[in-house]
């Protein structure tokens, strides 16, 4: 069992979730409540990471952020920050890859809230933020919860983008999915077996738990 790879994956998933959640929820709410002509394009871009092969996404990220690219060179010269083949690169790739997993379910959750509840809140004297915290967020909570679980589990199992952007540096960019691949490549099937089973159990448990929680929340309404 490669605990180092495992803890790196957990760390990556947690940081991804932490960074992506606030802008993801606000962006999803904005998409749910705003109507304008170019909205379909924005929604298409949000879904793109879901339909694009991970290697294609990883390739574009590598080309645009690598030290050879203008932006990557500038970041390196100015801030001495390298954005590929390290944890930062892994995080950037993971953030981009997870945008649809946060935005889509949360947007649907906000869209399901009747619009006149926000109007009723305004007539009651609640400001926009008060309405968001006291009315919209609690009502969208089951959707947000399942989006969080999906994002977390999805990051644990990420392979293609991570490999393109991070390579396989032990302790730095070697996640559990890559570790499993390495084990299989070197015919250590027993090692791969244990890690695969752990990942399977963890993913299934998390998703099932989120479904139970959503069902309980829905039953209270």
> Which chain residues interact with other proteins by CB under 8 A?
114, 116-117, 119-127, 130, 134-135, 138-139, 220-221
Beta carbons of 165 and 85 less than 8 angstroms apart: yes
Length of the chain: 221
Work out whether the CA dihedral 109, 18, 216, 118 comes out positive or negative: negative
Least distance (Å) between residue 149 CB and other proteins: 20
Residue among 168, 23, 149, 14 nearest 89 (CA): 168
Residue whose CB is less far from other proteins, 39 or 134: 134
CA distance 38 to 29: 16
Least distance (Å) between residue 134 CB and other proteins: 7
Least distance (Å) between residue 131 CB and other proteins: 10
Close Cβ partners of 79 (under 8 Å, ≥ 6 residues apart): none
Q: Which two tokens stand for residue 40?
A: 């379909």
Least distance (Å) between residue 72 CB and other proteins: 46
Residue whose CB is less far from other proteins, 99 or 113: 113
Residue whose CB is less far from other proteins, 32 or 199: 32
Residue whose CB is less far from other proteins, 79 or 129: 129
Residue whose CB is less far from other proteins, 130 or 186: 130
Least distance (Å) between residue 119 CB and other proteins: 5
Beta carbons of 180 and 196 less than 8 angstroms apart: yes
Least distance (Å) between residue 125 CB and other proteins: 5
CA distance 60 to 95: 14
Q: Which two tokens stand for residue 182?
A: 């390495």
Beta carbons of 175 and 194 less than 8 angstroms apart: no
Residue among 4, 23, 1 nearest 192 (CA): 1
Residue whose CB is less far from other proteins, 51 or 218: 218
């Amino acid at each position: 069992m490669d605990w180092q790879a495992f803890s790196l994956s957990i760390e990556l998933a947690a940081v991804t979730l932490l960074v992506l959640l606030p802008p993801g929820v606000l962006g999803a709410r904005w998409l749910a409540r705003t109507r304008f002509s170019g909205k379909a394009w924005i929604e298409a871009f949000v879904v793109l990471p879901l339909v694009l092969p991970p290697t294609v996404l990883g390739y574009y990220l590598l080309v645009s952020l690598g030290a050879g690219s203008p932006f990557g060179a500038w970041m390196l010269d100015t801030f001495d920050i390298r954005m590929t083949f390290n944890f930062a690169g892994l995080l950037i790739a993971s953030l981009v890859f997870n945008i649809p997993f946060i935005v889509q379910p949360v947007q649907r959750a906000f869209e399901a809230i009747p619009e006149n509840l926000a109007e009723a809140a305004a007539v009651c004297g609640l400001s926009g933020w008060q309405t968001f915290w006291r009315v919209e967020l609690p009502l969208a909570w089951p959707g947000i919860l399942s989006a969080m679980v999906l994002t977390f589990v999805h990051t644990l199992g990420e392979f293609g983008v991570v490999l393109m952007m991070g390579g396989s540096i032990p302790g730095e960019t070697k996640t559990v999915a890559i570790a499993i691949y390495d084990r299989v490549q070197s015919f250590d099937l027993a090692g791969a077996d244990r890690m695969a089973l752990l990942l399977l159990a963890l993913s299934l448990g998390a998703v099932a738990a989120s479904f139970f929680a959503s069902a309980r929340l829905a039953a209270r309404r």
